[in-house]
Structure 1
């Protein structure tokens, strides 16, 4: 038997993170919602009166009504102009108007301002990756493949200084905030083929995945393959509950269909991993959790829990949002698994559960997410 460990970890960025995602005190949810919406609006071919009015509304939320630069966002007008600003606020004559008539009139977009991740937080993120010691590790919210490779090559190495994870893959998804999903594998577990679902659309023509649902086919040392679907479903953080629930349901439905197609082709070793941003009993996740034969590693008798069912924040039941979902062949051969919280700051004072002794404040936490993993024996 060959035992391997597969895990998932939402690192919440490695080097840089949008300032608006730093915490509730930034007013980040409104900023993130405005950022997403205004970029969708400015992609329209024609800007009618309603579109122009809504663009201005969101620019005001972002602090960009009177300037191209604000504390949390930047309007980049590369060629041509989206807006014209006249008058003076002091004189009460300030006016901002959308002068572009559509996407073809100008080139530009709205960016989120980013801050460098705390140095200790980076070190603790690397330490979590090293201590979890997975052979195959899904990474959620990485800036890019280059960033992830630089990070692991420098921070997760053997005693001889060699990278523990020579195989690194991240595909740019549909989210322009630099929070993509990827995969790390150790030397014997080579990433073979990769298939993206970045362009998958629903029956109404809407993109399904906010990031992507890539299929990574990993070649196992003893022969055979493991197919890993890495996901990061829609957050509850902004937008209405009905909208975010509907988006996660579409994502769960499509992921379930991708999984079913793999199984129909005879693929037995399939795992769906990542941050699904909802609880096991939630309606949006039912297509994936109740209408497939996937099994959650945390429900396996060999899983070693710590009394806290959640994977995010303080680990309450309502914070169970990260998953390692195994096909029957993998679940039947599972011999262990656990949740790893040493990089999480638990509670206001960090006293809810053990963490690294070098973490002396919440700013030093590796992530708000615990890592989660399964140990599997394959013949």
Structure 2
């Protein structure tokens, strides 16, 4: 059985704030999106809250219109802001009960060639069980499976599942499997909380997959908190909480006698850093496929960006019984661009520029003797 993960970075539409070559260009809009929606949820808007709302809206082109370059103000009922022809705009809503609405991220179509190259990565990997990171929703994933994979000569998957998570930017985690590997159970953890509140930025989606011999494989698909915006200390703490919860769930599976368990996806952290301690150290029995002697890292240590050591963000972590079944595996970078001029590694002939790359992430696959 071949098991794989790939951060597809959306298939058809992607938030414009996430779609720039320079992460810094979209970062202020992403931060404003989060802060404004948090402010909107307050029961009562103070003078300071209203002043801050106006400043963020002005900075993002929303002071005179509901649609800015990267953000959209959605209003369903009531009035948030008054925009007179003469004079200054003002927040007229008294609090959350005064109106219904929110800030959305403006989206744009993904480069068509990039979408086709995403399909070529999956065609090349040829997984039986394929985790996907940053897919918009199940409908999109299903259409991609049925239409785009076929267009590049790949065999569509039989089973396609995605549970919407906590991120409203359209970056969810899902699973696609072949005929012989049906999905027979799903557990979502979007509501999991600890003493500090909600744990998962997206989800830790658990999929129970039936194996041809009657056994079960538990696939825990994850996309941890990004490093891209917010305070580093807060981001690190969030990822460590997420890692600890995944570790607890993994330990429960092992205690229940489940032998075949995998933690898979984009964990947004390098192995040596403290947020990974619950999964890679602290008594964990999970094994990193990168440490297997028959896993080919392709001459570079990372999986994201230029694939340096600092870009090791994607993982396949296996329970001991699964790790013992590894036959071979590899990093698939040919859908990536690779450096300013695309010269850091070979890529598909169809990837002729950075805009046509399937993703900033490599795919990972491992073949298991099960």
TM-score computed with the length of structure 1 as normaliser = 0.94
Q: Name the count of aligned residue pairs.
A: 368
| Shift in alpha-carbon separation, 1:241–1:25, aligned structure 2, 3 A | closer
Bigger CA drift: 282-291 or 347-356? 282-291
Matched, 1:195 2:187: yes
Determine which of 104, 113, 119 is the counterpart of 2:97. Answer: 104
Determine which of 216, 231, 234 is the counterpart of 2:207. Answer: 216
Match of 2:141, SS state, is: helix
| 1:267 corresponding residue in structure 2 | 258
Structure 1 stretches (4+) deviating beyond 6 angstroms? none
Determine which of 64, 67, 73 is the counterpart of 2:65. Answer: 67
Alpha-carbon displacement from aligned partner over 1:104-147 (angstroms, at most 9, x marks no partner): 11111111111101111011001101110011011000000010
Alpha-carbon distance in 2 for matches of 1:158, 1:50? 54
Alpha-carbon distance in 1 for matches of 2:248, 2:278? 9
Match of 1:156, SS state, is: helix
Alpha-carbon distance in 1 for matches of 2:158, 2:120? 17
| 2:244 corresponding residue in structure 1 | 253
Match of 1:189, SS state, is: coil
Alpha-carbon distance in 1 for matches of 2:348, 2:134? 22
Contact preservation (8 Å) 1:35, 1:62: no
Alpha-carbon displacement from aligned partner over 1:195-231 (angstroms, at most 9, x marks no partner): 1000011113x21111110110000011110001100
| 2:27 corresponding residue in structure 1 | 29
Match of 1:374, SS state, is: strand
Match of 1:357, SS state, is: coil
Alpha-carbon displacement from aligned partner over 1:319-338 (angstroms, at most 9, x marks no partner): 00000000000001111110
Alpha-carbon distance in 1 for matches of 2:321, 2:353? 42
**Cα shift at 1:87:** 4.6
Matched, 1:325 2:322: no
Alpha-carbon displacement from aligned partner over 1:84-109 (angstroms, at most 9, x marks no partner): 12354xxxx3x222211221111111
Match of 2:209, SS state, is: strand
Matched, 1:290 2:278: no
Contact preservation (8 Å) 1:156, 1:165: no
Contact preservation (8 Å) 1:20, 1:27: yes
| 2:121 corresponding residue in structure 1 | 128
TM-score computed with the length of structure 2 as normaliser = 0.96
Contact preservation (8 Å) 1:153, 1:162: no
Unaligned runs of 5+ in 2: none
Matched, 1:6 2:3: yes
Determine which of 79, 82, 86 is the counterpart of 1:81. Answer: 79
**Cα shift at 1:44:** 2.3
Determine which of 95, 98, 109 is the counterpart of 1:116. Answer: 109
Alpha-carbon distance in 2 for matches of 1:13, 1:164? 18
Matched, 1:231 2:228: no
